[in-house]
Amino acid sequence: LRVADLELDLLRRRVTRGGKRIDLTAKEFGLLELLMRRQGEVLPRSLIASQVWDMNFDSDTNVIEVAMRRLRLKVDDGQSVKLIQTVRGMGYVLEVPQEP
């Protein structure tokens, strides 16, 4: 899977951005795979919880926010183009931002 300079190799379970390898946990890899497969689509927290954690969504937990923060640090930190976006009140989306 590829979005801009972000590549996810499903067979080798390897992620690179701009040719640089990114080490992810199993959950982070699953989360990134879901975001990349549904690129440009806003994914609600409930869908992410059921697909990645195989659990019903509990609004009292911040597990998804913590995981997204960690994934964003690994994927977007130090990059001029941020691919992982938060859509307030709705969820998260992975997309290439439009030029202004």
Residue 33 lies in a domain: yes
Residue 60 lies in a domain: yes
Residue 54 lies in a domain: yes
- Mean pLDDT score, 17-27: 96
pLDDT tens per residue, range 41-71: 999 998 998 899 877 766 667 888 999 999 9
**Which residues lie across from 92 on neighbouring strands?**
43, 86
**CATH assignment at residue 24:** 1.10.10.10
**Structural domain containing residue 68:** 2-94
Tokens representing residue 38 in the block? 């549904």
Confidence (pLDDT) at 79? 92
Report the number of distinct structural domains present in the chain: 1
Residue pair 83/36 in contact by the 8 Å Cβ criterion: no
Phi/psi of residue 15, nearest 5 degrees:
-125, 135
- Mean pLDDT score, 66-78: 95
Residue 42 CB neighbour total at 10 angstroms: 14
Which pTM value belongs to this model? 0.90
Confidence (pLDDT) at 63? 87
Residue 51 lies in a domain: yes
